[in-house]
Amino acid sequence: MTYIITRLCRDCIDTACVAVCPVDCIYRNTGDDREAFPNQLYIHPDECIDCGACEPECPWQAIFEEEAVPEIFKEDIALNYKIVDASDQFEVSPNEETEKPTAEQIEANKQKWGWDG
């Protein structure tokens, strides 16, 4: 199993997860096809060592163990796995310091994607 970054990261990218990943398996898309690969981070499933360091660091609460991904985000599992076949369009994401979201912003983002978790 691997960890999955869900659409809760979409257009809300924070790289705190990148800073703690011991194997640099968190990627960003460098290609132009935002339909196939929306603006978010992705965990490479073949490189993830399931350490779980990334999950608590994500201020958007967008990262889940694969088997714990909420039903509403299940299609995000396949999206993370798609990067294996499109590796030429991805690079390890650099860690860039960003302002952390407020509790209200986190809740609004969850509501935007239809999740009340």
pLDDT digits (tens, 9 = 90+) for 43-69: 999 999 999 999 999 999 999 999 999
* Contact in structure between 1 and 65 (CB atoms under 8 Å): yes
- Alpha carbons within 13 A on the beta-carbon side of 57: 19
End-to-end CA distance of the chain, in Å?
22
Q: What angle do CA 52, 56, 58 make, to 5 degrees?
A: 110
In this prediction, residues 63-88 reach a mean pLDDT of 96
Residue 117 reports pLDDT greater than 80: no
* Contact in structure between 79 and 40 (CB atoms under 8 Å): no
Residue 36 reports pLDDT greater than 80: yes
Question: Residue 17 has what pLDDT?
Answer: 96
- At 18 the three-state DSSP class reads helix
Q: How confident is the model at residue 34 (pLDDT cuts 50, 70, 90)?
A: confident
Q: In order of start, what are the domains of the chain with their CATH numbers? A: 3-101 (3.30.70.20)
In this prediction, residues 72-101 reach a mean pLDDT of 93
